[in-house]
Amino acid sequence: MSWTAPPAPAGAADGAGTGRVIIDALPRPRDQSRLTRRNALSGPLEGVLVVDLSRVLAGPHATMMLADLGARVIKVEAETGDETRQWGPPFVGEDQVSTYYLSCNRNKESIALDLKSAEGRQVLTRLVRHADVLVENFRTGVLDRLGFPVEHLHELNPGLVVLSITGFGHDGPEGGRPGYDAIMQGEAGIMSVTGPPGQPSKLGLSICDVLAGMNGAYGVVAALYERTRTGRGRVVRTSLLASTVGAHTYQGTRWTVAHDVPVSIGNDHPSIAPYGTFRCADGEIQIGVANQNLWRRFAPLVGIDPDDERYATIPDRSARRAGLTADIEKALATAPRQTWLERLAEAGVPAGSIRSIDEVYQWEQTRSQGLVIEVDHPRLGTIELPGPPLRFDGAEPREHSAPPLLGQHTDAILAWLDEADRAAGADRTASP
């Protein structure tokens, strides 16, 4: 759907017929209409309108991916806002902006609605009629209780694609359970294969949420493509549980096929050796010797005969992992990390540093891939954010907009809705 945002009307919106819409009480951001219009920049999903009812991370990550691809994303927030606006530390700036919230809401607009009020539900109804996609990650049944079951959504807009993200799935014996990432890392097996032996550990990233968001976004894209043939929208469902189990890969088939229960083995690989973390004279590096060709290049560097019968094959090396590691680290102890990284690179053996997060974002390779972007935040000024992971050949780098303030675009969205409703009415009148 193509759209043009009108200039934002002056003043706050907090009256009848707006669903008790609120604007962030702080001073108005600079050039609000420009911030709104920037979301319409070109991309593969240009013209797609997404109504985002989600909060926290899985849903917002999905809608941020869609926004990065050019969709217009309208983030519908409760009057208190997405709860991640309060998650910290760290907070930054005089207004104590949450860096967690900043991580998953770029390229969106925000409207604040009380969906328990008749006025708020009316505004959402208008948005749904014009939308291509609606995204929600409420607990099962919440959207129904608000008056928007799937059947009603499709009565309002038969072409609407609905993405629903839950914790454990929308049905099944435990379908109604709430699920946060840390809980799912335990329930879905990640902790059992992470960390030192015998010490189940959580990943330092919210991987279950992110995987669910990614799966949701690609499900939406598939449903939009299907709609080009059928003319009708579909409900796309995923969950933290489904997305995490779906990422088990070789750890999953290790059990389903071989009936071998994986366990945590630290930084080693359960099927390949040498593959993991190794100590040099002044610290640690990562080395990945994943096939025989690499082994024949690597072994002489550390003084091992590649045909040594103890280590001749991948199964041999995996079975004698402790001895192999000791032999390798004896050689690595003779030189610092950088020397070994250079030797391994010259031999064509995959290896790398273990970087801290600050080092990753200062790394020129990271920046060369567009993985650090600048945005103009209405409170914080120019800030850097992690950038989108996709690039398209021939496309100019897009300008990104900062994660919105609570209710930042309310006036502009309501004015656009008035214009869109009038246009839709005129189209119906003109139809034969």
Are 413 and 111 a contacting pair, CB within 8 Å? yes
The torsion defined by the Cα of 135, 391, 209 and 243, in degrees rounded to 10, comes to 90
Distance (Å, whole) CA 407 – CA 409: 6
Whether the bond into 404 is cis, omega within 30 of 0: no
Structure tokens belonging to residue 211: 């995987």
Distance (Å, whole) CA 357 – CA 90: 15
The residues that bridge with 285 in the sheet, in sequence order, are 278
The residues that bridge with 49 in the sheet, in sequence order, are 72
Distance (Å, whole) CA 276 – CA 394: 37
CB atoms within 10 A of CB 88: 14
Are 314 and 292 a contacting pair, CB within 8 Å? yes
Distance (Å, whole) CA 279 – CA 284: 4
Q: Is 209 a catalytic residue?
A: yes
- Burial of residue 391, with CB atoms counted within 10 A of its CB: 0-12 exposed, 13-18 middle, 19 or more buried: exposed
Q: Which of 82, 209, 268, 411 is catalytic?
A: 209
List C-alpha distances in Å: 181 to 17, 18, 60, 100, 219. 38, 35, 14, 14, 20
Active-site amino acid positions = 209
